[in-house]
Structure 1
Amino acid sequence: MGTSWSARIADAPPGSAEAIQAVLVRVIAEMSNWEADSAISRFNALPIGQWMALPDDMARVLRTGLDIARLSGGAFDPAVGRLVAQWGFGPGGLTGLSTAPHHPSPWTAIELDGQRARRMADVTLDFSGIAKGFAVDAVASALRALGAAHFLIEIGGELRGQGLKPNLQPWWVDIEAPPGLSLPTLRVALSGLSVATSGDYRRFREESGTRLSHSIDPATGVPIAHDVASVTVLHESAMLADAWATAITILGPERGMALATRHGLAAMLIRRTETGGTEYLTPALAAMLD
């Protein structure tokens, strides 16, 4: 999936490493666009209108992605893969913009019926805004099943903490400001809690002197152009934190934070300004920090 992972486990039960590896292998086999034989790649290659039975985890992630798409007005879109590829952020590199008409709401062209799904238009699934979070949750579940009670899981910058460190301190995590912005570090304690951050400094491409964000607005079909530097969301579910952070980033400061506040999300948005950066906190996050 083009990223790294780490795990810190207090009194790790036997078989912990093998359990983690098994989870990650399964997620890659089902949801990685970088693997030609993965379930998601095979789904995207099917003729439009043809049903495919999905593995259980993939169906769950797709169902959650469609739910967040509906709640966010399409800002988070699990079917934005065609646009991601066209702008050079997919496994095939820069494919060039399509001459086909842009679908303004790709997720609405995905039909999910129980454990099977199909494409109703020329759109493709891309779980890059939700699969890492799901993998964090799945690893945590596998460790708990082995009897582990105290651990910190990280996959591609998305984290989940459970229990306490051996010194009885919580799993403290620093959420650093984006590079070049002199803002205070946000320190959070993860105990039964996950955190995900979406930022414009992690994946981008330079074109004619312009930085193109990897975050594509499904409504316009182009990379976002507003001044959001990063969005951080804390949630019990890493999968939901991951997806909501993407949605808020796409919507921008006003609409994104309004959405987060409306859904009671603990979120922080950092906005680039001429003088550096400005932080915005939702009421839910402000209450957690009091």
Structure 2
Amino acid sequence: MGTRWSAQIVAAPGGAEEALRAVLDGVIASMSQWAPDSALSRFNRAPPGEWRTLPDDLARVLDTALAIGRASAGAFDPAAGALADLWGFGPPGPRADVPAADAVAQALARSGAAAIERSDTRARRTADVALDLSGIGKGYAVDALAARLRALGCEDFLVEIGGEFVGAGVRPDAQPWWVELENPPGVALPPIRIALHGIAVATSGDYRRFIADGARRLGHTIDPRTGRPITNGVVSASVIASDCMTADGWATALTVLGPGEGVTVAAREGLAARIVTGDGAEHLSPALEAMLG
């Protein structure tokens, strides 16, 4: 997943680290677009129209991604891999220039969740689109780590992958697992500290990976509706939810939707969310305001 992970476990049982590494290896084998032999990569290479049986975890993440895509009116799209590759944010690697308009149009034509069909344990592509679950898969992996720890009998822990967290129980000092919502570089906002007691938080930041367009920096978040990096001013979006997969997917979607529509959709969906723009403005959903009140 191209980032670091950590786990803080109270009274960790023997073999916990090896068990967690096995969980991460399983997630990569199932849904990494960088692993050529993953189930996702094999799905993307299958001929359009051919049904493929999906591993349970991949099917679950795909179904959640498709649901968030529908609820966000396409602001989140798990079948936009061609666009991520074109802009230099996929397995082909980074690029030094901005793609031409006709190349963007071609990649956009090869994208879209409408070309993904599901049936029981199977799925198929009806057109030459490519699944890319990087906007939600990391959150699922955090949930999978937490589930494995619970299966090992652990009740008090904090697990994290690249700044996305799930907390359970309390620390050894009986305090909850406090986590501050990440502020983008150069943006000074009062800290928001969340007690992660059986909940998760994910942040989508549009400042870690980018492509240069002259003096401009275009972030890695692609609007799947236009085929281009977002220009709505959002530099980060955080979502607090009962599971990290949902928080991750919605944080990505809200980044694309922008502060106005994003807060409206968050309110409709009952999401506790914060959207930050480059001018330092902070936009809170009603559910998050209620939590802070």
User: What's the TM-score once normalised by structure 2's chain length?
Assistant: 0.95
Q: Matched residue of 2:139: which SS?
A: helix
- 2:24 alignment counterpart: 24
Q: Match for residue 162 of structure 2?
A: 156
Aligned to 1:263: 269
Give 1:4 shift.
Answer: 1.1
Shift of 1:45: 1.1
The amino acid that maps onto 2:145 is V
Measure the CA separation in 2 of the matches of 1:76 and 1:100. 19
1:218 to 224, 232, 238: 224
Could you tell me which residue of structure 2 aligns to residue 233 of structure 1?
Answer: 239
Contact preservation (8 Å) 1:78, 1:127: yes
How many Å separate the matches in 1 of 2:135 and 2:149?
A: 23
Q: Distance in 2 between matches of 1:54 and 1:141?
A: 20
Q: Measure, in 2, the Cα distance between the counterparts of 1:145 and 1:214.
A: 36
Offset of residue 94 of structure 1: 4.6
Q: Is the 8 A contact 1:53 1:117 kept in 2?
A: yes
Q: Which residue of 2 aligns with 1:285?
A: 288
Equivalence for 1:75:
75
Residue 115 of structure 2, aligned match among 99, 109, 114 = 109
2:85 aligned residue: 85
Deviations 1:90-148 (A, max 9, x none): 01125753663733970111011111111111210001011110011111011001100
Once the two structures are TM-superposed, the CA of residue 260 in structure 1 deviates from its matched residue by 0.4
Tell me how far apart the structure 2 counterparts of residues 37 and 190 of structure 1 sit (CA, whole Å): 35
Alignment of 1:103-252 (within 5 A): 103=109, 106-252=112-258
Q: Closer, same or farther in 2 for the Cα pair 1:104/1:220, shift >3 Å?
A: farther
Report the TM-score when normalising by structure 1: 0.95
Contact 1:74 1:105 in 2 (8 A): no
Task: Write the deviation string for residues 183-209 of structure 1: whole angstroms up to 9, x where unpaired.
Answer: 112111101010000111122121322
Aligned partner letter, 2:202: A
Q: Secondary structure at the match of 1:59?
A: helix
Stretches of structure 1 that go unaligned for 5 or more consecutive residues are: none
| Aligned pairs, number | 287
Looking at structure 2, the residues matched to 9 and 246 of structure 1 have their Cα atoms a distance apart, in angstroms, of: 28
Aligned 8 A contact 1:104 1:218 in 2: no
Q: Is the 8 A contact 1:40 1:125 kept in 2?
A: yes
CA pair 174-101 structure 1, distance change in 2 beyond 3 A: closer
Inter-CA distance 258–227: structure 2 relative to 1 (3 Å threshold): same
Q: Which moved more, 1:163-172 or 1:92-101?
A: 92-101
Q: Verify the 8 A CA contact 1:104 1:220 in the aligned structure 2.
A: no
In structure 2, give the amino acid aligned to 1:226. Answer: N
User: Match of 2:124, as an amino acid?
Assistant: R
Where does structure 2 lack aligned partners over 5 or more consecutive residues? Answer: none
Structure 1 residue 84: deviation in Å?
A: 0.4
Name the CA distance, whole Å, in 2 between partners of 1:283 and 1:101.
Answer: 37
2:50 matches 1:50: yes
Q: Is the Cα–Cα contact under 8 Å of residues 177 and 184 in structure 1 kept in the other structure?
A: no
Return closer, same or farther for 1:259/1:104 CA change in 2, 3 Å cut-off.
farther
Does residue 1:62 correspond to 2:62, yes or no? yes
Kindly provide the amino acid, as one letter, of the partner of residue 173 in structure 2.
N
1:181 CA displacement: 1.1
Letter in 1 for 2:12: A
What is the root-mean-square deviation in Å for CA atoms of aligned residues?
1.4
C-alpha distance after superposition, 1:230-255 (max 9, x if no partner): 10000011000000001111011111
Counterpart code for 2:290? A
